[in-house]
Structure 1
Amino acid sequence: MKIKFLLGLFLLMSLLFSAQNNDQHAISKSFSSFLNQLKNRDIDKAVDNIYPKFFTVLPKDQMKMILNMTYNNPIMKVEIINYKVSQIGNIELVKGEYFSVVDYSTRIRCNAEGMQDEMRNSIKNMLIQKYGKGSVVYYPKEMAYYINAKTKACAISKDRKNWKYILVEKEMKQQLNKVLPKKILDKI
């Protein structure tokens, strides 16, 4: 009798663990697709993969404008060279929605060609303030900054199949209070 109970418990734990891994794999695949959309400058598709409640704090057209200014700016070309999803957090159900925190890193190139020295220094200071001194390197021959950024995102779904995302920026913590549950914000 004990053996059957332990075997049943083991099977149940295995199924739960397997389901969690499948969900995490689905999030990783979907999030990579989202980052590829940003990398390829497909702004409309990327915006379609942003969590809809986020647009209550930042309107959708304003978000499109910000992303276009970031990735399609002729003055300072920003390019995602590569990215890596490093960890998908446990999935938690909060008020009918599933949440998971995604840790990822990106290598970004910011072209500073054609800028005055004063502007280049301002950009460098801004990037260092945002990403940290050890994460920003300027290559004068290329006239470009390379950034190694470790960041977080939040994956959200109603059905554990279709995931939407919010890229978590330190500066946006106040706005995120209006969109994400406190239990999830505490993990970010």
Structure 2
Amino acid sequence: MKNIFTSILVLLISISTFAQSHKEEVTKNAQTYYDYMTNQNFDGVLDYMYPKVFEMAPRAQMKAGMEQMFSSPEMKIEFLSNDVTKVSEEKIVDGITYAAVFYNSKMKMTFLSEKDKPEEDQKAFLDFMKVTMDTQFGAENVVSNQTDMSLVINMDATMFAIKDPKYDGWKFIGNDDAMKQLVDSIVPESVRTELIKTN
């Protein structure tokens, strides 16, 4: 009886350690991915992206799109912070391991093209942009600053971590409306439903 008790205890401890280690591993990798995004290291970001994404949008094209978005003469985009807040349990489907990553992101948009315009025009533009962003992210999550013509957006979001035997380590794919079709084609519905809705 004592041996059975000891065996069960060891098993429970090992399961607990495994669950903890996958969350720690995903958190560490996701934080590196977000740090690359914050520092605009696009090659680093793309290295952590789930490679099947590149079958639909070539890597070079995605990098060019990122560079264009972050170097626009009209608007400067900066990530002030990206922090992992939670990692779900794992779910394995057809030999591929999935987890959901919940994170908080703070992004700053500075409207460079408006800086030399009259103050009244600046205010009208910034008010319009704030209302637009309020609709998407909630008024409480958008702060405007006319002094430097910027909006700071605070958002809670999710992405999927994927460990596929075909690739090395954990890879990631964003879970947002813009990526919905792509995510739906890569992440099984059972995974999306269970990992996002139960956390």
CA displacement, residues 41-61 of structure 1 (integer Å, 9 cap, x when unaligned): 111221121101122333323
Residue 10 of structure 1 aligns to which amino acid in structure 2?
A: L
- Deviation of the 1:147 alpha carbon: 0.7
Total equivalences in the alignment: 187
- Deviation of the 1:104 alpha carbon: 0.3
Distance 1:59 1:119, change over 3 A: farther
Larger radius of gyration: 2
Distance 1:124 1:88, change over 3 A: same
Provide the rounded CA distance (Å) in 1 between the counterparts of 2:56 and 2:128.
Answer: 28
Please give the residue correspondences for 1:1-188 in structure 2 after superposition, counting only pairs within 5 Å.
Answer: 1=1, 3-115=2-114, 117=122, 120-121=126-127, 123-159=129-165, 162-186=169-193, 187-188=195-196
Structure 2: 5+ residue stretches without partners: 115-120
- Deviation of the 1:167 alpha carbon: 1.5
Provide the rounded CA distance (Å) in 2 between the counterparts of 1:183 and 1:54.
Answer: 20
Provide the rounded CA distance (Å) in 2 between the counterparts of 1:154 and 1:124.
Answer: 29
Distance 1:97 1:71, change over 3 A: same
Q: Is the contact between residue 80 and residue 109 of structure 1 (CA under 8 Å) also seen in structure 2?
A: yes
> What TM-score comes out, normalization by structure 2 length?
0.84
Structure with the bigger percentage of helix: 2
Aligned-pair Cα RMSD in Å:
2.1
Structure 1: 5+ residue stretches without partners: none
Provide the rounded CA distance (Å) in 2 between the counterparts of 1:79 and 1:36.
Answer: 12
